Structure 1
Amino acid sequence: MILRILEEKIKSRLFKGKAVLVLGPRQSGKSTLVSTILQGQEYLSLNGDEAAVREALSNTSVAELERIIGRHKLVLIDEAQRIPDIGLTLKLITDQLKNVQVIATGSSAFELSARVNEPLTGRKYEYKLYPLSYGEMVGYHGYLKEKQLLETRLIYGYYPEIVTHPGEEKELLKLLAESYLYKDLLSLEQIQKPALLEKLLRALALQIGSEVSYHELAQLTGANKQTVEKYIDLLEKAFVIIVLPAYSGNIRNEIKKGKKIYFLDCGIRNAVIRNFQPLSARTDTGALWENFVIVERIKFLYQSGIDAKQYFWRTTQQQEIDLIEEHEAGVLHAFECKWSAASKARFPSTFTDQYHPISKQVITPENVKDFLM
């Protein structure tokens, strides 16, 4: 079994008087993770996809919850975002049933967080479970094996079902992309134009690694800028994409409001554009590597509990740096992503002379281990 880094962290939070929330996209392994954590223990499992569970857990009372939970000390609520007023229900359990530990999973940060944040203020531990990470896979079968599989990861990504079913990646990714991209998103009231969502996703998939213009995306998809902004915000909160803002300080010609958009998983990105060609037949290898490195770095920082803000940097004269990290006390680190170790990377003096980053590094397949572990 592939050990998830969050496992021990979540175990340490049980029976501390707070609800435990595990957020992440569908099929990222939330149920498997929680089942592993609770293995060998008796617990009550409830699924928010079931109508009877939704009815029983919404607008409920302490007496009704006591009847449902019975003598169980552990309660797992899967797909909790489907349950109306779930935040109030979790608050009742946490406040009134002191000997009960509740763990809730949700596949949409937008839906579940919106429903629990206010009722559960000070009453929850919240975790994000991303698809498998580079570090987790190195821990599973070693660095050399994972290095050999880097090209596969750039094409098919890190979703658990994809990683554990070699040879079936294309078929499974198509099913996964259709179900997880559209099932959750199209259930939201804010998504009123499914065809527009598909157009926007494809446009974003074709622009990874490039600065995106919401105005140009609106023209390309036949929507208005406000709708594009709303849909991109929802895509980010539904764990489909990651938005990287531009870094700007004092330099007059810096891009100050630009954004780059990456997909949380390279496999999903390739499924959106229906391109599973090997790297030797592609023109987007550099962009895929950049997407991979930045997203895996985000996973690593989160799993390690390192607080760092991330940006890209660019000027109107096309000087740019792929990734800027701002750590505590404003300390900056600059990174360039290059699939070929022979590729030259320059860090513009316009940036280094002004901001004095404490480190500058080019990330290639040869040294990526040290960057992601």
Structure 2
Amino acid sequence: MIPRQLAATLGNTIKPGRVWMLFGARRVGKTQLIQNYLTTVQEEAWYQGHGEDRDLAELLESRSASRYRQMFSAYDGFFLDEAQSVQNAGAALKLLVDLFPKLKVIVTGSSAFRLDQMLGQPLTGRRAVHYLHPVTVSEIAAWKDPLAPKAQLPDLLNYGSYPEVLQIGDPRERQAYLRQLVEDYLFQDILVFEQLRNAQKLRDLATMVAHQIGSELSLNELANSLQLNRSTIERYLDLLEKSFVIFRVGGFSRNLRKEVSKTQRYYFVDNGIRNAVINQFQPINQRADRGALWENFFINERRRFNAYHNTGTQSYFWRTYDQQEIDLIEVSPDGQLAAFECKWQNKKHKVPGAWPKAYPETPVQFAHPENFTQFLL
């Protein structure tokens, strides 16, 4: 079993009278994480249900105090998996914790655009939100040994780190799993819940983003290529982000005249998902896009590292109008900066001249396949 970093905090953060929320893409291990936790509290009685169970969803949507008492009064805890399928789930959960202040409540969800209703006014001050990512370098090291991430790097760049993918040996089976995951889960959540008419356009947009990792996206160019208006492109990108397919990184600036700050770069939450979208799984040493895959991998891993260590760090890229750039700028809550350049080859690299002039107190660290674990473990 792959150890997950969030498991160590579950017992201390799940409290009566509050809703413990776990979000993340489908198949990243949310259900397994909670079920593993429940085996450690077998002295407690837990009701376990799924949001796609229409009988349970109808009960919750009724917001009937008498029905809630009849169903849940005998339990110490309530676990609702894939809560986005329940309409007005936030109001239902608020009533539940109001009626049963000693009840522990855990919910999971994989569609943030449906979970907005849970994060709003109904549960203000009554929730704790956590995110589960695909398996991290640190988790792989704990699962196997500290040298394993470096040894597995070609596979991580090509097939990503979804839990089931890591446990499949045959490359063809990995590819088939990832393609099915993309079609059956990641896109379907958006298509079903949002009732989009242009399903192919959504797939085409994801493909275009996949080919532009590490580059600022021109929404006007995307709109022209896909024959959609700019506002639709913005909406689709937002849906892909809220369904945990991609994430955005904005431009960093402290208002210096030459710094670009109003554009966005997009990355995939998992390299395997990115490669499944474009259906390319050639060996890394044969790929022209290995630099982009490496950048996606490292920036993603730093994002996961900061999330699990609760650093409060924000991620940006840095570029000037004369095309000097740094791949990753991290800003801590106290304003401290860290700068990283993602390089495929381990050799001496030059720092863009404008960076040390503007930020002399922040050296640029070069992350490459020979040293990356020092930044992630």
Q: TM-score, normalised by structure 1?
A: 0.96
Question: What is aligned with 1:355?
Answer: 359
C-alpha displacement at 1:224, in angstroms? 1.1
Question: What is aligned with 2:237?
Answer: 232
Question: What is aligned with 1:370?
Answer: 374
Give the distance between the partners of 2:144 and 2:337, measured in 1 at CA: 33
Question: What is aligned with 1:154?
Answer: 157
Choose which of 256, 263, 269 in structure 1 pairs with 2:261: 256
Give the distance between the partners of 1:110 and 1:145, measured in 2 at CA: 36
Pair 1:179 & 2:184 matched? yes
Q: Secondary structure at the match of 1:170?
A: helix
C-alpha displacement at 1:38, in angstroms? 0.6
For the 8 Å contact 2:89–2:117, the answer to whether it is kept is no
For the 8 Å contact 2:201–2:226, the answer to whether it is kept is yes
For the 8 Å contact 1:331–1:357, the answer to whether it is kept is no
For the 8 Å contact 2:260–2:319, the answer to whether it is kept is yes
For the 8 Å contact 2:16–2:103, the answer to whether it is kept is no
Choose which of 324, 327, 337 in structure 1 pairs with 2:329: 324
C-alpha displacement at 1:334, in angstroms? 1.0
Q: Which moved more, 1:113-122 or 1:286-295?
A: 113-122
Give the distance between the partners of 2:363 and 2:96, measured in 1 at CA: 48
Q: Unaligned 5+ residue runs, structure 2?
A: none
C-alpha displacement at 1:357, in angstroms? 4.1
Q: Which moved more, 1:283-292 or 1:68-77?
A: 68-77
Cα-to-partner distance string for 1:233-276 (whole Å, 9 max, x where unaligned):
11111111010111122332322211111000000000000000
Query: How many residues are treated as equivalent by the alignment?
Result: 372
Q: Which moved more, 1:103-112 or 1:13-22?
A: 13-22
Choose which of 162, 167, 176 in structure 2 pairs with 1:164: 167
Choose which of 312, 317, 322 in structure 1 pairs with 2:317: 312
Question: What is aligned with 2:29?
Answer: 29
Give the distance between the partners of 2:89 and 2:21, measured in 1 at CA: 12
* 4+ long deviations beyond 4 Å: none
For the 8 Å contact 1:86–1:116, the answer to whether it is kept is no
Pair 1:126 & 2:140 matched? no
Question: What is aligned with 2:298?
Answer: 293
Give the distance between the partners of 2:12 and 2:167, measured in 1 at CA: 28
Q: TM-score, normalised by structure 2?
A: 0.95
C-alpha displacement at 1:350, in angstroms? 1.1
Report sequence identity in percent: 39
For the 8 Å contact 2:17–2:100, the answer to whether it is kept is no
Choose which of 209, 218, 222 in structure 2 pairs with 1:217: 222
Cα-to-partner distance string for 1:311-364 (whole Å, 9 max, x where unaligned):
11112221111001111332211110112212x432222122112343320011
Q: Secondary structure at the match of 2:52?
A: coil
Q: Which moved more, 1:34-43 or 1:154-163?
A: 34-43
Question: What is aligned with 1:59?
Answer: 62
Q: Which amino acid aligns with 1:368?
A: F
Q: Unaligned 5+ residue runs, structure 1?
A: none
C-alpha displacement at 1:306, in angstroms? 0.5
Give the distance between the partners of 2:106 and 2:183, measured in 1 at CA: 28
Taking structure 1 as reference, are residues 293 and 102 closer, same or farther at Cα in structure 2, changes over 3 Å only? Answer: same
For the 8 Å contact 1:335–1:363, the answer to whether it is kept is yes
C-alpha displacement at 1:16, in angstroms? 4.1
Cα-to-partner distance string for 1:34-71 (whole Å, 9 max, x where unaligned):
00111152321111111112111103222211212241
Q: Secondary structure at the match of 2:267?
A: strand
Q: Secondary structure at the match of 1:252?
A: coil
How well do the aligned residues superpose, as a CA RMSD in angstroms?
1.4
Q: Secondary structure at the match of 1:88?
A: helix
For the 8 Å contact 1:20–1:125, the answer to whether it is kept is yes
Question: What is aligned with 1:14?
Answer: 14
Pair 1:283 & 2:288 matched? yes
For the 8 Å contact 1:334–1:357, the answer to whether it is kept is no
For the 8 Å contact 2:328–2:340, the answer to whether it is kept is yes
Give the distance between the partners of 2:118 and 2:149, measured in 1 at CA: 39
For the 8 Å contact 2:190–2:243, the answer to whether it is kept is yes
Q: Secondary structure at the match of 2:202?
A: helix
Give the distance between the partners of 1:28 and 1:357, measured in 2 at CA: 38
Q: Secondary structure at the match of 2:8?
A: helix
Q: Secondary structure at the match of 1:328?
A: coil
